[in-house]
């Protein structure tokens, strides 16, 4: 006797014993037909006795093609087969994907792993109905929804191709991993606007075709581009400190893991969140290669899998550009501001390692350092009046000054 367990998405599981009733009905039909049509009876008996062959999803994808994928690596050997079956089915728009597992909840999790590892899949809506069967052979049938058929997928890929090729042509394959990550970060921020109403905003089509998206589109586009450039990058989901669902990336740069949040680098996103944004501000780099301590102040990853620790700030944008302070000296801060002014640059940024250090430096910066730098600006450029704007961000332990040169 078979038991059937049905589970939709991540909701509830229930048991239905429908198989037993079907067997009784079949037996009654056989008894009633005896003496009338022996051939029919034998055919029915054979169908009942012989186990039905399960039409498992054919797998063409090899282990080598996906072995570097982060979520794939979290699975055991049996689950990796299930992963490849699901991936193959989604790529072919299969309506019912038969897979070698009888745990509907685990099947759903592996399905989500496939999507997190596959930023190029833009035609699947990410929801499934999973029905599991236990008997002589255990299996699950997955049903998902596809936004687009094969013809539409081909046309949409062609539409994205020119934007993707243009982006990838802008960075040398010989560039360092840091340079590639920074390039992709700035490319997405400079070409895409944050827009909750953007079509296809949960996938890369919204980024490369419409140049409007939300965090899912930003993060999947970053993952897709960095993978094309040979940089490890995966997709991470969780919540923000305000309780909102959010997505960002985990990358590997020069041998160490870091977090990247391209969405929060976009001033259009910051404005949409009600933050004060200077007209001169272009990009925020707080989450351009940061560690756990920096990220976890405002982000909480989902607990669907264990993420590798991010313990370094060595490749953080502010560290790499002399804007990061793990100790404070007013003369050093002034010299760095004067260097920016001498080059006619913008802005001067002071990013502090923690809030205590920020608080320690705060008053001296506003009462002394900025005023002295403003005098340097006046003397160097012959100004009778000095103008500047500043942003004070205690939540990010950061002070930014924008100088006006005329």
Q: What DSSP state is assigned to residue 263?
A: G
Q: pLDDT at position 290, please?
A: 98
Residue-range definition of the domain harbouring residue 314: 149-321
Asked if 220 and 269 sit in the same domain, the reply is yes
Same domain (yes/no): 161, 309: yes
Q: Say whether both 170 and 315 belong to one domain.
A: yes
Asked which of 123, 146, 169 is the last residue of a domain, the reply is 146
Q: Quote the pLDDT of residue 270.
A: 52
Q: Indicate the residue among 127, 146, 165 that finishes a domain.
A: 146
Which residues is 213 bridged to in the sheet? 194
Cα separation, 164 vs 287, in Å, equals 23
Please give the helix or strand (H or E) that residue 380 lies within, else none: helix 370-381
Residue 377's pLDDT is: 97
Listed residue (192, 189, 199) closest to 285, CA to CA = 189
Q: What is the pLDDT of residues 314-364, one digit of tens each?
A: 999 999 999 999 999 999 999 999 999 999 999 999 999 999 999 999 999
Residue of higher predicted confidence among 11 and 245? 245
Same domain as 333, residue 305: no
- Same domain as 225, residue 76: no
Q: What percent of the chain has pLDDT over 70?
A: 84
Other Cβ atoms within 10 Å of 239 Cβ, number: 14
| Token duo for residue 244 | 């909102």
The verdict on 154 and 236 lying in the same domain is yes
Please provide residue 125's backbone torsions phi and psi, each rounded to the nearest 5 degrees.
-80, -5
Least confident window among 5-14, 215-224, 297-306, 368-377: 5-14
Q: What's the number of domains the chain is made of?
A: 3
Q: Are residues 24 and 141 in the same domain?
A: yes
Can you tell me the distance from the alpha carbon of 223 to that of 205, in angstroms, rounded to the nearest whole number? 13
Cβ atoms 56, 78 nearer than 8 A: no
**DSSP string computed for 235-251:** EEEEEETTS-EEEEEEE
- In this structure, are residues 69 and 94 in contact, taking their beta carbons and an 8 Å threshold? no
Does the pLDDT of residue 10 top 90, yes or no? no
Residues 154 and 303 in one domain: yes
Domain boundary residue among 321, 343, 376? 321
C-beta contacts of 357-360 below 8 A and 24+ residues apart: 357/325, 357/326, 357/327, 357/328, 357/397, 358/394, 358/397, 358/398, 358/399, 360/328
Confidence at residue 364, expressed as pLDDT on a 0 to 100 scale: 97
The pLDDT confidence band at residue 406, using thresholds 50, 70 and 90, is confident
52 and 137, same domain (yes or no): yes
- Please tell me the predicted confidence (pLDDT) of residue 93: 96
Quote the pTM value: 0.84
* Beta strands across the sheet bearing 387-393: 324-325, 348-352, 398-404, 387-393
Q: State the alpha helices, DSSP H only, in 250-312.
A: 267-272, 292-295
CA distance linking residue 95 with residue 85, whole number of Å: 13
Average confidence score pLDDT of the chain? 87
pLDDT digit string, tens, across residues 43-91: 445 445 455 789 999 999 999 999 999 999 999 999 999 999 999 999 9
Q: What separation in angstroms does the CA of 364 have from each of 76, 329, 358?
A: 56, 10, 11
Residue 34 reports pLDDT greater than 60: no
In this structure, is the dihedral angle defined by the CA atoms of residues 179, 192, 167 and 206, taken in order, positive or negative? positive
44 and 8 in a common domain: yes
Q: 122 and 27, same structural domain?
A: yes
Residues 160 and 139 reside in one and the same domain: no
**Inter-residue contact 370 to 333 (CB < 8 Å):** no
Shortest CA distance to 184 belongs to which of 295, 66, 72, 283? 283
pLDDT digits (tens, 9 = 90+) for 119-154: 999 999 888 999 999 888 899 999 999 999 999 999
Q: Tokens at residue 102, please?
A: 């009888």
């Amino acid at each position: 006797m078979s038991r059937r367990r049905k589970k939709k998405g991540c909701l509830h599981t229930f048991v239905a014993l429908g198989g037993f009733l079907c067997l009784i009905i079949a037996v009654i039909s056989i008894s009633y037909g005896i003496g009338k049509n022996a051939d029919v009876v034998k055919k029915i008996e054979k169908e009942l006795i012989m186990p039905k062959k399960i039409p498992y999803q054919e797998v063409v994808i090899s282990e080598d093609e996906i072995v570097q994928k982060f979520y794939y690596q979290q699975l055991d050997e049996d689950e990796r087969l299930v992963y490849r079956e699901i991936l193959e089915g989604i790529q072919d728009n299969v309506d019912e994907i038969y897979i070698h597992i009888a745990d509907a909840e685990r099947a759903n999790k592996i399905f989500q792993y496939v999507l997190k590892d596959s930023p190029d899949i833009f035609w699947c809506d990410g929801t499934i109905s999973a029905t599991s069967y236990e008997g002589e052979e255990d299996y699950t049938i997955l049903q998902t929804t596809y936004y687009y058929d094969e013809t539409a997928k081909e046309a949409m890929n062609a539409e994205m191709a020119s934007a993707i090729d243009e982006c990838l042509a802008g960075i040398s394959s010989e560039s360092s991993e840091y340079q590639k990550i920074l390039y992709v970060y700035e490319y997405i921020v400079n070409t895409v606007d944050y827009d909750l109403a953007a079509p296809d905003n949960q996938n890369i089509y919204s980024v490369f075709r419409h140049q409007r998206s939300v965090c899912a589109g930003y993060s999947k586009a970053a993952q897709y581009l960095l993978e094309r450039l040979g940089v490890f990058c995966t997709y991470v989901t969780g919540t923000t400190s305000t309780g909102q669902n959010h997505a960002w990336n985990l990358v590997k740069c020069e041998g160490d893991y870091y977090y990247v949040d391209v969405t929060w680098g976009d001033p259009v996103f910051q404005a949409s969140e009600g933050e004060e944004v200077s007209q001169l501000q272009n990009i925020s780099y707080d989450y351009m290669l940061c560690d756990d301590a920096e990220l976890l102040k405002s982000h909480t990853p989902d607990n669907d899998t264990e993420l590798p620790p991010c313990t370094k700030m060595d490749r953080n944008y502010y560290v790499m550009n002399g804007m990061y302070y793990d100790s404070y000296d007013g003369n050093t801060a002034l010299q760095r501001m004067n260097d920016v002014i001498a080059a006619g640059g913008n802005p001067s940024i002071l990013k502090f390692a923690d809030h205590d250090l920020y608080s320690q430096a705060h008053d001296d910066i506003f009462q002394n350092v900025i005023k002295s730098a403003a005098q340097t600006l006046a003397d160097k450029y012959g100004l009778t009046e000095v103008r500047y704007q500043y942003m004070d961000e205690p939540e990010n332990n950061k002070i930014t000054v924008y100088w006006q040169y005329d």
